[in-house]
Amino acid sequence: MDLKEYMSVRRAYNVVRQMVDSENRLTFEEFAIICHLCDCDQPVKTSSIAEYQGALRPTMTHRTNHLEGLGLIDRNEGERDRRNVVCAVSERGRERALELAELTCAQIPNGHALSRTTPERMLKYVDAMGSFFCKAGDLVLLGLRSLEGESATIMKLVDVLGLLQPTVSMSVASLADRGLVVRDRSAAGAHTTSVRLTHEGALAVDELVDQIESLVVRRRPRTSA
């Protein structure tokens, strides 16, 4: 997977997430869990899902509890060891995953990476991306990288990332405190701030891009003629 593909999917899903009412809204990681389970032939241990996402058990318990509460997955005790809780996607979960994939595809503009991908293929992309946890601050760094080194205003980053303005502003402030970005007053107006990567920020985003490029999107098995 490359950066353009990754950013296309994350931006599109960020937009879709804002369209969903708060009670049914899923984080990207929760959406990825459903996609992951859709691709599994049998129930998966919660510990294995946590390993897939690189998450701590309490974090994964919170995510799977939320998904179960929405009726998107079923959780049961393991057949051999009752301490091992296993998860399986429900029929409602499969329908919801495909619906979210369709909405995500619809939010990718023509000419952008993956603008012609199918919802079924999108499920594969989200599954692969679910193994890489990316915070809002990381997305800001990646957004700046996607602009090929150009500085960007907060509103430009909002458009590039599909995130809400307060989220972007707080992330930029945190990154600036860590020395990863610099905020400059724009010549266009005293109240307009542009953001650019520092040398340290460029090094940090290089590591993120390396992780993205290591993600493998599985293809459908070929059928014999």
User: pLDDT grade, residue 84 (50/70/90)?
Assistant: confident
To which H or E segment does residue 152 belong?
Answer: strand 152-153
Count helices and strands in the chain by DSSP H and E runs: 10, 6
User: pLDDT grade, residue 85 (50/70/90)?
Assistant: confident
Per-domain boundaries in the chain:
3-129, 136-213
User: pLDDT grade, residue 36 (50/70/90)?
Assistant: very high
Mean pLDDT of 32-42: 94
Structure tokens at 31: 């959406």
pLDDT in tens, 72-81: 999 987 666 5
Structure tokens at 9: 């999917």
Buried b (16+ CB within 10 A) or exposed e, 23-38: eeebebbbbbbbbbbb
Q: Give the span between the Cα atoms of 90 and 200, in whole angstroms.
A: 45
Q: pTM (2 decimals)?
A: 0.90
3-129 against 136-213: fold identical: yes
Q: Give the span between the Cα atoms of 67 and 75, in whole angstroms.
A: 10
Does domain 3-129 fall under CATH 1.10.10.10? My reply is yes
Mean pLDDT of 81-95: 86
Q: What is residue 225's predicted lDDT score, i.e. its pLDDT? A: 35
Q: Give the span between the Cα atoms of 53 and 41, in whole angstroms.
A: 19
Does residue 145 contact residue 3 with C-beta atoms inside 8 Å? yes
Q: What is residue 89's predicted lDDT score, i.e. its pLDDT? A: 97
Name the fold adopted by 136-213.
Arc Repressor Mutant, subunit A (1.10.10)
Q: What is residue 90's predicted lDDT score, i.e. its pLDDT? A: 97
Buried b (16+ CB within 10 A) or exposed e, 47-75: eebbebbebeeeebeebbebbeebebbbe
User: pLDDT grade, residue 224 (50/70/90)?
Assistant: very low
Buried b (16+ CB within 10 A) or exposed e, 157-167: bbebbbbeeeb
